[in-house]
Structures are given as structure tokens and as C-alpha cells.
Chains A and B, each alone.
Chain A
Amino acid sequence: SAVISQKPSRDICQRGTSLTIQCQVDSQVTMMFWYRQQPGQSLTLIATANQGSEATYESGFVIDKFPISRPNLTFSTLTVSNMSPEDSSIYLCSVGRDSSTYMYGYTFGSGTRLTVV
């Protein structure tokens, strides 16, 4: 299965600033997914990023707040803009199954723990 490198692993940011999270995959993938996980909660899908097109956002998430880039088939970034303490959360990227190893499920990065003060 794919290997994901997600950076930074954690950060403490001032309110009103922005943070860009990077997700690098060791193989080419069609779709990349961004999730948010608030403390003690399940994962919530933010958006789906397809290379060469605009990301598709889930209800409750907008591009102005969470702009996503997908410049190639191995890389994506998620920016959390104009942060407030309510944005404190863990942000994870994920990639879909490789078509030849679909039985092994999706792969997730280890997450970025964001604290906004």
C-alpha cells in the first residue's frame, strides 16, 4: 500500500493566521482526501482532491476557509485559513486503494495536530 508523509506533525498557531499542511505520497494516486478529527471524535471528511481539477468540498466546508492544491499525482496541500480556536483539531490526508491491491484499504497519514491560540 502507499506510504504517506504528512507535514507538519503538529503546530501551534495564532488566531487569524493560516497554516498549510502538506501530504506527499510515494506513488501516483488519483484521489486524495482530507479529513478533520476533533479531540475524542470520529473523522469528518473535508474535501476530495483530484489532480487537475477543483477540490470537492463536503457540506459545512468551504474553499475560502480550506483551500486545497493538488499540483500532481503525488502531492496535495490543505490550508486552514484565518484560524480560530475552533479550528484546533487533527487534520489527516488519505489516499485510495491502489487498483492492484484494493483489498488493503485506504492509507492515512499520521495527521497534523493543530492548536490555535
Chain B
Amino acid sequence: LAKTTQPISMDSYEGQEVNITCSHNNIATNDYITWYQQFPSQGPRFIIQGYKTKVTNEVASLFIPADRKSSTLSLPRVSLSDTAVYYCLVAPSGGNTDKLIFGTGTRLQVFP
């Protein structure tokens, strides 16, 4: 399983765009990149997943360069409620039996 590296923490202010970059140098050909969000006292929640280029949903965008050795989660116009820990994971997709290994995560603090 590919190891991921991401910043331990980030600070932002309401209304700003936040970009969290994750490094995954040993990503395998069949691995997808997935991001999860975790609020205090809750389990992680799936945000977005991608394989290459750009993926966008109603919550975030995910940018993946051609070499796939890194990825960037982009949160547009954050609010106080986006304060959470964000985890980047890589794992094979398409199945439901692969174990997910969590890295340290990035603790995002949004200020008024």
C-alpha cells in the first residue's frame, strides 16, 4: 500500500480557498486517490476520489498531475464548519474488500 505524506496542519480564514497537497510517490497503477474528512466525535466521511486529472463534486475538487505522485484537495470558499481533519489515502478502487490505511491527516482550522 502506498504511503501518503501531507501537512500536519493548516490555517485559513472564512471565504478563502484552501489547497491541501498530498504526496504519494509509490502509488500503484491500479490505485485511486481518496480523501476523507473527519469532524470531532465522528467517523471519517468520504469527500472525493480520483484517478488522474481533475475531479469536481459539490464539496471539493481534486487535482492529480500526470505522474500521479501527488494530489491536491481544493476546498473553495471555506467556512467555519470546514474545520476538520482531512485524510488522503490511496487504495485500489472498484472493490469493497480493500483495507484503508490512514496517514497522519491534515488538521484544518478555519478562523472567522
Within 8 A of A (CB), among B75-112: 87, 93-105
* Chain B interfacial positions (CB closer than 8 Å to A): 34, 36, 41-47, 49, 87, 93-105
Contact A102 B43 (CB under 8 A): no
Alpha-carbon separation in the docked complex, A106 to B93 (Å)? 11
Contacts of B93 in A (CB 8 A): 102
Beta-carbon nearest neighbor of A98 in chain B: B96
Interface size on A, residues (CB 8 A): 31
Contact B44 A103 (CB under 8 A): no
Stretch at the interface among A12-20, A63-71, A76-84, A89-97: A89-97
Contacts of B98 in A (CB 8 A): 96
A111 touching B42 in the complex, CB below 8 Å, given contacts A96-B95, A105-B36: yes
Contact A96 B96 (CB under 8 A): yes
Can you identify 19 A-B contacts, CB atoms within 8 angstroms? Answer: A29-B96, A31-B97, A33-B99, A42-B102, A42-B103, A43-B87, A44-B102, A45-B102, A48-B99, A94-B100, A96-B96, A98-B96, A99-B95, A99-B96, A102-B94, A105-B47, A111-B41, A111-B42, A113-B41
Q: Given A35-B102, A42-B103, list of 6 further CB < 8 A pairs?
A: A33-B100, A42-B104, A45-B101, A96-B95, A102-B96, A111-B42
* Chain A interfacial positions (CB closer than 8 Å to B): 1, 4, 29-31, 33, 35, 42-45, 48, 50, 92, 94-99, 102-111, 113
Contact A104 B46 (CB under 8 A): yes
